[in-house]
A = this chain, B = another copy of it.
Amino acid sequence: MSSKPLTWVPIGGCGEVGKNMMMFEYDDAILIIDAGVMFPESDMLGVDAVIPDYNFLKDKRHKVRGIVITHGHEDHTGAIHYVVRDFPNVPIYATPLTRGLLEVKLREAKLLDRVQLHTIKVGDEVTIGPFHIETFRMCHSIPDNIGMGIKTPAGLVVLSGDFKFDHTPVDGKPSDFAKLAELGGRGVLALFADSTNAERAGSTPSEREIEPTFEHIFRDAEGRIIVATFASLISRVQQVVNVCDLYGRKLAIAGTSMGENVKMAQKMGYLTIPPGMLVRLEDAIKMPPHEVAIVATGTQGEPSAVLARMAVGKHPLINVVPGDTIVMSAHPIPGNEEYVHRVINRLFQKGAEVFYDPVAKVHVSGHASQEEQKLLISLIRPKFFIPVHGELRMLRAHARLAREMGIPAENIFVVENGTPIRFHEGKAEQLPRLPGGYVFVDGSGVGDVERSVIREREALARDGFVVVVIHRDAQGKLAKPPEIITRGFIYFKESDAFMRAMAQTVSEALRDLKPGASEDAIKNRTIDALNRLIYSETRRKPMIIPIVS
């Protein structure tokens, strides 16, 4: 056993620890796992995406030996074009489907010719510097997902990756229990395990359990059927294909990302569609409704996605009408509930029948619940246990399970993003948190929107703004009454009197100003006087911007 330490760091996203990215460092070598993005939280106003803050790695750029992507979901792949730009020559390892999905992204970003992509098959072993990686199959809601045993001079660590123990997965390929047991038998220093569903008792149902519901829905629907799901949920698409086959419906795909993923998965053999079943959306809408099913994106209620546009009549091809049956085959990601429910209400408003959880069993989670999490711990029997891939509350719930299973509390580490854990000579310790957190992406800007800009947006969202233009004459006196311009503050068509009152208030506040008064003095007086008036009349606090000319 070596005398050098192994350090692990979960790298930030919003809230979920080590979900989007993590790294191991041993001696002069760094291994990166995953490169994902997070959806912004609802008060990260105007932010399009959040990427992990891996700035601390840039100083150590020369040490980074490889990047392994565990599976093809956005929260594990979506930052790949940023990572590739920052670590241009580092080889990237992924299983075939994951690689296919990465290539779609890299092609879009015009980076495909600048990366070294290596295909590994599930079960392959690969050595990256001091890290000897043994991959194994773990079920998840996408095929070709891997867990990893990583042999290092400091010991053997195991990463569950995102997983569930589905004994009857759609692709017929269950998690590799034998490998897990074998790793466990070798003595595992640390297990990093998926905490997503640590608050849920029991076991997550198999993907198969939704099939009877789908069959009922397809049997009874007299019109068109639209199944909404995630663009990367290839196995769900396979299930829709199967039930279309059973009831003789054609299938069309709505949504660019969904279309590309289906094409790629089909080409690579991860999706089997009978010849002639797939039709173009343009053709599908001309066929008798009961002969067609459509798979679409937009399960999170995103206003710009296919489903929401259909629900409000803004989709160029499809307008939801009475007789349509909609299946929401996904759960809302926490924070999206309100938008998802709104879309469901709108679909009902349009006269459609809507099936969604909990009124119908049309989705199951892709993550292990408590009984599966316990089984994983039993198989691996690690010395140290580190719950990952969850918010703090989920990690705590997972840690509680581990304690109940006999792992001593001092061997369990619940840490936040940016907090390293160092393993050395069979011991583990938590190090001080590294500076940094996460980085906002807004439009094409990465990191140019800071917390301070978000705070301005919050203030603007709450009460809008008031611009006051103050015209001075040569003597420094008011040349004419101040101009007032507001947005997001009050409904100006009914507020003429108040607009005049604001102008009047500013005029009075500036009346006895001395000739040589500074611009700042004028601005401060204006802001004070307007704040007082506005708050006393409206109890609001719009942002006030005086302009002195």
A320 to chain B, nearest CB (A): 14
What is the bound-complex CA distance between A391 and B345, given in angstroms?
Answer: 7
Partner of A354, one of B46, B358, B393: B393
Inter-chain contact B344/A393, CB cutoff 8 Å:
yes
Q: Is A431 close to B, CB under 8 A?
A: no
Q: Is A488 close to B, CB under 8 A?
A: yes
Inter-chain contact A442/B540, CB cutoff 8 Å:
yes
Which residues of the other chain, B, contact A540 by a CB distance below 8 angstroms?
A: 46, 442-443, 445
Which residues of the other chain, B, contact A445 by a CB distance below 8 angstroms?
A: 490, 538-540
Which residues of chain A from 161 to 199 have any CB-CB distance to chain B below 8 Å in the complex?
A: 199
Contacts known (A337-B335, A461-B46, A467-B467); A547 close to B545, Cβ less than 8 A? no
What is the bound-complex CA distance between A539 and B199, given in angstroms?
Answer: 39
A349 to chain B, nearest CB (A): 6
Q: Is A359 close to B, CB under 8 A?
A: yes
Q: Is A103 close to B, CB under 8 A?
A: no
Q: Is A230 close to B, CB under 8 A?
A: no
Contacts known (A199-B359, A334-B337, A335-B338); A488 close to B453, Cβ less than 8 A? yes
Inter-chain contact A45/B491, CB cutoff 8 Å:
no
Inter-chain contact B453/A464, CB cutoff 8 Å:
yes
Which residues of chain A from 496 to 531 have any CB-CB distance to chain B below 8 Å in the complex?
A: none
A493 to chain B, nearest CB (A): 9
Q: Is A444 close to B, CB under 8 A?
A: yes
A468 to chain B, nearest CB (A): 10
Which residues of chain A from 433 to 466 have any CB-CB distance to chain B below 8 Å in the complex?
A: 442-445, 448-450, 452-454, 456-465
What is the bound-complex CA distance between A452 and B492, given in angstroms?
Answer: 10
What is the bound-complex CA distance between A443 and B469, given in angstroms?
Answer: 25
Inter-chain contact A487/B359, CB cutoff 8 Å:
no
Contact with B along A329-350 (1 / 0, CB 8 A): 0000011011001101100110
Partner of A491, one of B338, B344, B448, B460: B448
Identify the closest chain B residue to A462 (Cβ).
Answer: B46
A388 to chain B, nearest CB (A): 15
Contact with B along A303-342 (1 / 0, CB 8 A): 0000000000000000000000000000000110110011
Inter-chain contact A457/B547, CB cutoff 8 Å:
no
Q: Is A396 close to B, CB under 8 A?
A: yes
Partner of A460, one of B42, B338, B457, B545: B457
Inter-chain contact A444/B538, CB cutoff 8 Å:
yes
Inter-chain contact B450/A491, CB cutoff 8 Å:
yes
Q: Is A210 close to B, CB under 8 A?
A: no
What is the bound-complex CA distance between A485 and B545, given in angstroms?
Answer: 9
Q: Is A260 close to B, CB under 8 A?
A: no
Q: Is A285 close to B, CB under 8 A?
A: no
Partner of A449, one of B46, B354, B490: B490
Which residues of the other chain, B, contact A338 by a CB distance below 8 angstroms?
A: 41-42, 334-335
Closest CB pairs A-B (n = 8) = A443-B539, A461-B461, A460-B460, A335-B338, A456-B488, A457-B488, A46-B462, A443-B540
Pairs across A and B, CB under 8 Å, 6 listed: A334-B341, A448-B495, A452-B491, A453-B489, A483-B547, A487-B545
